[in-house]
Structure formats: structure tokens, C-alpha cells
Amino acid sequence: MENKLEFLMAQSQDLPAILNIIAEARVFMKSQNSGQWQDGTPTEQTIIIDIHNKHFYVAKMNDEVIGCLALLDEEEGYNNLLTGTWSKQGPYKVIHRFAVKRSHFGRGIASFMLKKVEDLVLANNIRAIRIDTHELNKPMVSLLLKNNYEQRGTALIEKSKLRIVFEKTLI
């Protein structure tokens, strides 16, 4: 049977699978000594709101949710970088709450999701995508660099979480 990989707007019935992936990612990040998501974020309520507002997407293989992310219009913490500068001014989209099911690590799912986000962003005539992560989230840093995201500096997210920020300019 061929694996059918899709990138879709999340539906409320996807929530249990999304929450399982987020929980797995939280455990994985803790094992990497990353403080990211160790405070209980993202919460179930945040994801419910993202789904309701049509800002949450899932990657599905053969109808199983294997990855998820939120695609948002802005991140307040990006307005004043602590270090560095953005290369692109003007509108941008932000990726948050990005995770892939642990059993699907190393299969290109995360890169597939990033490419699909680029397609969505370009279709909306926006030319920049921004994302942040904890400096100890080495798999995410590696993924972003591999997919031509440029490390642009550091920012405080939610006023207190130090993160390294990345940007990809789309042509």
C-alpha cells in the first residue's frame, strides 16, 4: 500500500492525535535538556482556538495525524529582537507549535510540512516566514537550516522565553 501524505487544515476530531504528538514532543525536548514546552504550553485550549480560527494544520499519512503546526499572522516577541535583525520587512507568517510524531522522525515529514507552509504563504502573496526555537532544540535548528531558514538573532517570546529566531524569504 502506498503511503498517502497530505497537509490539511486541522479539524476538531484531530485534537486527540494532536495532543498526543505535542505530549510526545514535550517529553523529547525535556530529554534534550530544552526548556521548550516544559511549562505546559502549548495548551489544549490554545490548540482548540487555533483550530477554530483555521490557523492549525496537520500532516496525515493514510488518514493518521503524524505532524502538526500553527500558522499565524504575527508574533509579538518578534517586534523587538534582542539580537540580530530581520532581512525582510513587511508582512510575514509565523510557524508555532510544530511537531512530528516520534515514530515518523527522519522520514522527511517536517520538511514536507515546511514546504507546504511555503506554498500556502506564497499563495497569500506573503514573502517571509518566521519561526523560533529553544537553542537546545538541535533537531529543529538542524531542520530549519537544512530547509534554508536563516538564523536571524534572538527574541523573548511571551515576554520571558529566550528563543533563537529564523526567517525564510520566499521569491
Residues 141, 118, 23, CA angle at the centre, nearest 5°?
50
d(CA 69, CA 100): 9
Q: What Å distances lie between residue 100 and 89, 108, 154, CA to CA?
A: 30, 10, 24
pLDDT at residue number 171: 82
Pick the CATH number of 5-169 from 3.30.70.20, 3.40.630.30, 3.60.150.10, 3.40.50.720: 3.40.630.30
Helix (H, G, I), strand (E, B) or coil at 64: strand
Contact 100, 129 (CB under 8 A): no
**pLDDT tens profile 139-150:** 999 999 999 999
Q: Grid coordinates representing 130? A: 518566521
Phi, psi values for residue 92, rounded to 5°: -150, 165
**pLDDT tens profile 31-77:** 999 889 999 999 999 999 999 999 999 999 999 999 999 999 999 99
d(CA 29, CA 37): 8
Q: How confident is the model at residue 79 (pLDDT cuts 50, 70, 90)?
A: very high
